[in-house]
Amino acid sequence: MRRVVFVIACVVAVLSMMAQETTMKLGHWSVSVEETTGKATIEHDGKVVIAKSEAEWGLNGAVATFSSLSNITTEQADWQDEFGSGKRVAVSGKTTTEPITTITHTYYIYSDKDYLLTDVVLEGNSELEINYIAPIHTQSSSRMLDAGTCYHLWVPFDNDEWVRYKTTKFGSTHDTSYEVTALFNNDTRRGLVVGSIEHDTWKTGIDATTQSDNSMSSMRIYNGAASFAGTRDIDPHGAVKAQEISSSKIMVGCFADWRRGMECYADLCATVHPQLPFAGAKPFGWNSWGVIQQDITRKQATDVSDFFADSLQSVGFHTEDNVVYIGLDSYWDNLSLRDHKAFVRQCKENGQKAGIYWTPFVDWGNYAQGVLPDGSTHSDAWLRDSSGTPLKRTGATAFDPTHPGTQARIKKQLEQFVEWGYEFIKLDFMIHGILEGQHYDKNVHTGVQAYNVGMQYIADLIGDKMFINLSIAPLFPAHYAHSRRIACDAYASLGNSEYTLNSTAYAWWLDHCYSYNDADNVVMKNERIGVNRVRFTSSYITGIVILGDELTDEGDAGAKERVPELAANNEMVQMAYQTKAFYPVDAIEGSYAPNLFMYTVADTTYLAALNYTSQRHKFDFNFDRLGLISGNEYVARELWTGQEAVVAESYEEIVPRSDAAVYKIYPRPANHNVEAIPGNTTRCYYDTYVGEVRVKGEYLLQESRVYNASGACVATVQGEHDAVDVNRLPSGVYLLQAIDSAGGSHTLKFVK
């Protein structure tokens, strides 16, 4: 009898607990809140996404949790804001000790969205001091992803020190991601995307632990992330002091395709702070830091301007509105005032806009007694840590963005650039301006607040007079510049291209926040043509296109010949006009770049295939993964070579070693006659860009002979090979006769 009573009591207790839960449902989402603890469980289409999450907040490690509050209440209401219309549920409670604080944790559900939003507001009866708020904190397991290969995406805070984005498999250790992360199934592409969409006050970190069964066992999304390894900070995150303190608004989104989820996240960020307007077209141009670097002179700068006018603009390498930007980087002060004005004037005469470079928050000389335009010293304006020590990065002291001396320095220099006639500015080492430290403006408590002050000051001074491009900068805030370099410095090598494309693969979506991404300087010098083609392609599929070779009268002859050859490919230029950053077809594990990227415009799919290896690579173009319809006929045109084929189902292509191919795939017009070539058929073609006869398809060549118009054999290659080098042969008509490794014979007539 006692056992029966005990069981009944347990059932009553469970029912009582179930009754103390408030649930709000709308569209795909439901949020259920335990009224006694304030813990919330978030579901999407009936699957638990985040279980029993409760807010946390505190100062320097002293943390309070929502479940410790008294008088917890919930309130539901209809809701409408700039993100959509729907419902909200607000969960409130009070602290029991001074300062008496009301904490309100609100969830916003929208009727037709794949995401919900949440934030936390703290209101005290006296001033609060907080440097940590976690709107999402759960240590309960959930599983929203199906069986398959699941990844966690690590996003860095900035692009300093050649940092790479990284994916790690579920069940591995995942580093703190900054501002946003995705947990996704790479097979189905279904994914969870979470991140901060407001970047006015806080640096946001995201910690997650996962299990190999594709479950998530914990997650913490928190404001107040600061560390030397992650954000370059020495001091803890600055503490906000006010009677009312708000967290950033956090997005929690579930998407059929995690790639669309990342773009949705970026669009929400741009809803909070829209892109800085730019009336012009995507920039094409040149920057002196590619090869010339510290040796830049007026003659070199004007030589480059003339080279562009004579050899590049004339073949169609320019913006869609017929402009190019010729930019001076660091060491522009090698030029005199007269030099700058003459250079700008020549650029205008050549149909160009002149660009310049500066580091607004950096004191390279570390000269304490230097005098700033307002009469203060450099030492006065330096940003210092909590012990009073000036903060340095890369050997240079940081200026405090809120100090009048820093702002006077910025005003003087930017007004000078505008007066000289510059219309493009690259602002570098921006990370110095977002460090935590002691700021002159006592209403500024955090590095992000200080950075916003400094960047707003810059944006107000420049107005619409210049295109603003950021380098070595945090991902956010993004609304003070037109573009941002996707990675760190990159030059000519294959490794540089692969490094850059690692960032493009996992941060392409940033051009929903900025107008464009930037793949840095495209350099040809000292590399073979295939590597050059990879470098060009990496820029075309990332954003703005900025060349970097020494295109002067005394510059490298090979580069000056190669650049016009590649830049004259009008189909690639037109593709760049029509597209923004390409996104990966699939993610890969680790910190390397995937080798397939795509972008769709109307009924046309552009597909970039990049071979980072020293061996030819066979690519599988899977119709399902590319969003193409099996059975429909498509023209697949390779834009670098002009080779075409008709395809109606998944097929394969071979890309030579250390090279790139870009395919334009579109429905075959009724009157478009292209011979349909199965993907596994071996065929030979002459590649004018590399001066080689090449083979594509399943088999390598075993023996090749090249005959001139007189019938004399002028070249022989034996043993397995994928190319015959004919660069040394004089111009003329030639015939290739070859046998492949399967015994098939090939004949190709070509004109060199």
- Last residue within a domain, chosen from 272, 301, 336: 272
Q: What is the pLDDT of residues 439-463, one digit of tens each?
A: 999 999 999 999 999 999 999 999 9
CA 140 vs CA 68, 216, 330: distances in Å: 18, 8, 51
Q: What is the CATH number of the domain that holds 78?
A: 2.70.98.10
Averaged pLDDT, 48-66: 97
Looking at the fold, whether 666 and 686 belong to one and the same domain comes out as: no
**Is 747 contained in some domain?**
yes
The Cα–Cα gap between 222 and 744 comes to 63
Averaged pLDDT, 111-138: 97
CA 571 to centroid of chain Cα atoms: 25
Averaged pLDDT, 312-316: 96
What is the reported pLDDT for 697?
73
The Cα–Cα gap between 207 and 726 comes to 56
Contacts of 62 by beta carbon, 8 Å cutoff, 6+ apart: none
The Cα–Cα gap between 405 and 380 comes to 8
Amino acid in the structure at residue 25 = K
What is the reported pLDDT for 698?
75
Phi, psi (degrees; rounded to nearest 5) at 295: -95, 10
Looking at the fold, whether 39 and 115 belong to one and the same domain comes out as: yes
Q: What is the pLDDT of residues 271-289, one digit of tens each?
A: 999 999 999 999 999 999 9
What is the reported pLDDT for 19?
44
What is the reported pLDDT for 13?
39
Looking at the fold, whether 112 and 200 belong to one and the same domain comes out as: yes
What is the reported pLDDT for 596?
98
**Is 673 contained in some domain?**
yes
Contacts of 696 by beta carbon, 8 Å cutoff, 6+ apart: 643, 653, 654, 682, 683, 684, 685
What is the reported pLDDT for 14?
39
Position 676 confidence tier, pLDDT thresholds 50, 70, 90: low
What angle, 0 to 180 degrees and rounded to 10, lies between the N-to-C axes of helices 404-420 and 447-462?
30
* Residue 628 burial (10 A CB sphere; 0-12, 13-18, 19+): buried
**Is 308 contained in some domain?**
no
Looking at the fold, whether 649 and 725 belong to one and the same domain comes out as: no
Task: Confirm if 192 and 144 have CB atoms less than 8 A apart.
Answer: yes
What is the reported pLDDT for 7?
39
Residue 473 is classified by DSSP as -
How many domains does the structure of the chain reveal?
A: 3
**Is 127 contained in some domain?**
yes
CA 288 to centroid of chain Cα atoms: 23
The Cα–Cα gap between 647 and 675 comes to 10
Q: What is the pLDDT of residues 229-265, one digit of tens each?
A: 999 999 999 999 999 999 999 999 999 999 999 999 9
The Cα–Cα gap between 98 and 124 comes to 9
Amino acid in the structure at residue 616 = R
pLDDT of 581 higher than 90: yes
184 compared with 694, residue with greater pLDDT:
184
User: Within the chain, how many helices (H) and strands (E) appear?
Assistant: 13, 46
The Cα–Cα gap between 447 and 713 comes to 71
The closest of 69, 42, 49 to 57, measured between CA atoms, is 69
The closest of 455, 432, 469, 466 to 199, measured between CA atoms, is 455
Strand order in the sheet with 692-696: 683-687, 692-696, 723-725
3-state secondary structure of 391: coil
**Is 716 contained in some domain?**
yes
Mind spelling out the 3-state secondary structure of 531-555?
A: HHHHHHHHHHCCEEEEECCCCCCCC
The Cα–Cα gap between 52 and 29 comes to 15
- Last residue within a domain, chosen from 218, 239, 272: 272
Torsional class of 89: left (φ above 0), alpha (ψ -120 to 50), beta (otherwise) = beta
What is the reported pLDDT for 675?
62
Looking at the fold, whether 145 and 244 belong to one and the same domain comes out as: yes
**Is 267 contained in some domain?**
yes
Provide the H-helix boundaries in 238-373: 258-272, 298-307, 337-349
**Is 225 contained in some domain?**
yes
- Give me the domain span that covers residue 733: 681-752
91 compared with 685, residue with greater pLDDT:
91
Averaged pLDDT, 278-304: 98
**Is 170 contained in some domain?**
yes
Looking at the fold, whether 607 and 658 belong to one and the same domain comes out as: yes
Looking at the fold, whether 147 and 201 belong to one and the same domain comes out as: yes
Looking at the fold, whether 599 and 724 belong to one and the same domain comes out as: no
Q: What is the CATH number of the domain that holds 617?
A: 2.60.40.1180
The Cα–Cα gap between 86 and 375 comes to 55
- Rounded to 5°, the CA angle 160-166-170 comes to 150
pLDDT of 497 higher than 60: yes
- Which secondary-structure segment (H or E) carries 292? none
- Length, in residues, of the chain: 752
Looking at the fold, whether 723 and 599 belong to one and the same domain comes out as: no
What's the number of CA atoms in the CB half-sphere (13 Å) around residue 506? 34
Residue 28 is classified by DSSP as T
pLDDT of 423 higher than 80: yes
The Cα–Cα gap between 192 and 212 comes to 16
The closest of 301, 353, 357 to 325, measured between CA atoms, is 353
Task: Confirm if 604 and 635 have CB atoms less than 8 A apart.
Answer: no
Looking at the fold, whether 45 and 35 belong to one and the same domain comes out as: yes
The Cα–Cα gap between 81 and 484 comes to 29
- Last residue within a domain, chosen from 227, 245, 272: 272
pLDDT of 678 higher than 80: no
Amino acid in the structure at residue 633 = E
The Cα–Cα gap between 26 and 89 comes to 12
Looking at the fold, whether 254 and 162 belong to one and the same domain comes out as: yes
The closest of 513, 517, 455 to 490, measured between CA atoms, is 517
What average pLDDT is seen over the chain? 94
Give this prediction's pTM. Answer: 0.91
Looking at the fold, whether 633 and 712 belong to one and the same domain comes out as: no
Phi, psi (degrees; rounded to nearest 5) at 173: -85, 130
What is the reported pLDDT for 691?
80
The Cα–Cα gap between 347 and 84 comes to 47
Amino acid in the structure at residue 598 = M
Task: Give the lowest-confidence range in 68-72, 475-479, 727-731.
Answer: 727-731
Provide the H-helix boundaries in 20-67: none
Task: Confirm if 356 and 287 have CB atoms less than 8 A apart.
Answer: no
The closest of 101, 104, 70 to 88, measured between CA atoms, is 104
pLDDT of 18 higher than 50: no
Position 673 confidence tier, pLDDT thresholds 50, 70, 90: confident
The closest of 122, 183, 117 to 149, measured between CA atoms, is 183
Task: Confirm if 373 and 408 have CB atoms less than 8 A apart.
Answer: yes
- Rounded to 5°, the CA angle 173-178-181 comes to 65
Task: Confirm if 581 and 517 have CB atoms less than 8 A apart.
Answer: yes
Phi, psi (degrees; rounded to nearest 5) at 720: -60, 130
CA 674 vs CA 260, 637, 642, 671, 694: distances in Å: 34, 10, 12, 9, 20
The Cα–Cα gap between 653 and 719 comes to 22
